[in-house]
Structure 1
Amino acid sequence: MRRIGAGLLAVALAVASAAGAQAQLAELRSTTAFRVCADPAAVPLSAQDGSGFENKLAELMAAKLGLPVAYSWFPQGSGFINRTLRAGTCDVVMGYAQGDELVQNTNHYYTSIYGLVTRKDGDLAGVDRLTDPALKGRELGVVAGTPPASHMARAGLAKDMRGWDLFVDRRVENPVGDMLAAVKAGTLDAAVLWGPLAGPLVKADPELQFTPLLKEEAGPKLFYRITMGVRPAEQDWKRELNSLIRRNQAEIDAILHDAGVPLVDDYGKALKP
């Protein structure tokens, strides 16, 4: 009987401990501010001066909740989620790709795609797929390790590729800006870049254009659904954000369009008007 009693006590203590841990985790979310985990120098997405389009989306969400925005700044890359969201210093990551296991994803609030950046007056301005023979023997920029690099290698462009690092501290390095400057100067013929990074910068430059890669058929995919990321246990918070996204999708789309983010349908086949 003592053994049974001891066993029941152990189970009860374990359940109480788990419940306490869940309650403690649930209490991490602030009720006085919309606390955002963000990179301070990921222009045009987020910036410490508030100029990024993710800053504007955060302001929209906060306004709908009747709360001020508060940021926890940390460079994106290794350790970003552990040092911010999981540490409890903030409650939501804006602009997180659907399917990443480090966070719990909300419903997606936009879908975007990789594309080709060229000069508007260049002879590659009409290229809209990576298998176009016109790309052979040209200097092509790409961020190493990103999905387009696989497509380019398969298309026989490996010897033409010039790679930039994927994870850098954007406070001191700017691979996307460097590639765009090289295309503009003519030292690169084209660059293959993620739309939300390149689109807003290209929109501000009358000499460049961004052509979405809508016609690529083989994997890996070049379009991604973008969500907000929250802690895995915070189901109520995820549902609240899902409701905000659904009710304010038109305003979200307007902010993204105004920023120059290329929006596509959920299957990456056509531009979203």
Structure 2
Amino acid sequence: MPAWVADPARRFGSALLGGLLMAAACLLPVAGQAQTSDLVSTHALRVCADPANAPMSSEDLSGYENKLADLVGEKLDLPVKYEWYPMATGFVRNTLMAKKCDVIMGYAQGHELVLNTNHYLTSVFVLIVPKDGDLSGVKDLSDEALKGKRIGVIAGSPPATHMARNGLIGKAKPYNLVVDRRYESPSETMLADLESGDIDAAVLWGPIGGPLVKQHHPDFVAIPLLGNQLPPKMYYRITMGVRQGEKVWQRKLNSLIRRNQGDINAILADAGVPMVNDMGDTLLDVTQ
């Protein structure tokens, strides 16, 4: 425990100093105060996005994150404007932090590079297999039916650890984690390998795998990997990301998410994104 917490006198002194500093700040001329909300454009919803990150975002505006941006722009009565940049090293630095745009539509909760809004989606990794194959009844990576199978997995992703724990990594086929999607698409390559029979199953992040299966692979099924008790976790909460310190903008988006969660769910469900409860152990039916 820090000393100032344990010592009441020091705690009072710190509180008093904080109060004096706040009072002094209130006496400054308004024109001289930095308002972080002023960094956000009032003329357009400026979105930071990858131009080749289907099924999420695409320069042809066909991704479901493009549709989410349209919904947000409509509710804010603002036109949507994009700052395109590959979602690899330097994405946040060269877009959001460079003040070229004001929001990233999909960002994992808790990442320190951005200030997260409240989450609008919780999703989970999926196992993708032929719909009528002998693996279609598998529910998790500990299933004995997976023993001896060649499984595609993104190298360094959480499922790889679970596969190693269950003795599946020896025959696994790894695919690159960080790529420029304009030139390489590990997810689409993995599913093409599943089509050709080079692998027996594929493990992908649900918001990628689910929509790819729905759009391009009707003979496959994407099985949500629910209820894993051991780390690393297989589910993540997805938020919108804004610049650190921009609390006014964050609260505005939080309110918008809360009031329009039904419309957001409809966009995600139509795309084929698997949605689970906040603990990642129950699949949600948002069609009811």
Q: TM-score, normalised by structure 2?
A: 0.87
Aligned match of 1:190: 201
Aligned match of 1:4: none
Distance 1:174 1:21, change over 3 A: farther
Distance 1:20 1:81, change over 3 A: farther
Residues matched between the structures, number: 258
Contact 2:45-2:102 within 8 A present in 1 as well: yes
Find runs of 4+ consecutive structure 1 residues off by over 4 angstroms: none
Contact 1:130-1:216 within 8 A present in 2 as well: no
Contact 1:118-1:191 within 8 A present in 2 as well: yes
Between the aligned partners of 1:26 and 1:79, the Cα distance in structure 2 is 23
Contact 1:22-1:233 within 8 A present in 2 as well: no
For 1:134, the aligned partner's letter is A
Deviation at 1:201, TM superposition (A): 1.0
Aligned match of 1:32: 43
Contact 1:128-1:211 within 8 A present in 2 as well: yes
Aligned match of 1:266: 278
Between the aligned partners of 1:146 and 1:20, the Cα distance in structure 2 is 47
Aligned match of 1:257: 269
Q: Does 1:145 align with 2:156?
A: yes
For 1:66, the aligned partner's letter is D
Indicate the SS of the match to 2:89.
coil
- 1:156-198 CA distance string (max 9 Å, x none): 1120211111110000101000111111221110011000001
Contact 1:41-1:48 within 8 A present in 2 as well: yes
Indicate the SS of the match to 1:64.
helix
Aligned match of 1:59: 70
- 1:21-54 CA distance string (max 9 Å, x none): 843x433210000000000000000000000000
Deviation at 1:246, TM superposition (A): 0.3
Q: Does 1:80 align with 2:54?
A: no
Indicate the SS of the match to 1:158.
coil
Indicate the SS of the match to 2:264.
helix
For 1:169, the aligned partner's letter is D
Contact 1:184-1:207 within 8 A present in 2 as well: no
Q: TM-score, normalised by structure 1?
A: 0.91
Q: Please report the RMSD computed on the Cα atoms of aligned residues, expressed in angstroms.
A: 1.6
Between the aligned partners of 2:169 and 2:195, the Cα distance in structure 1 is 22
Contact 1:43-1:52 within 8 A present in 2 as well: yes
Aligned match of 1:206: 218
Mapping 1:96-115, distance limit 5 Å? 96-115=107-126
- 1:82-111 CA distance string (max 9 Å, x none): 000000000000110001000000000011
Indicate the SS of the match to 2:177.
coil
Question: Could you list the runs of 5+ residues in structure 2 that have no partner in the other structure?
Answer: 1-23
For 1:123, the aligned partner's letter is D
Aligned match of 2:79: 68
Identical pairs, percent: 57
Aligned match of 1:222: 234
Deviation at 1:248, TM superposition (A): 0.3
Distance 1:130 1:20, change over 3 A: farther
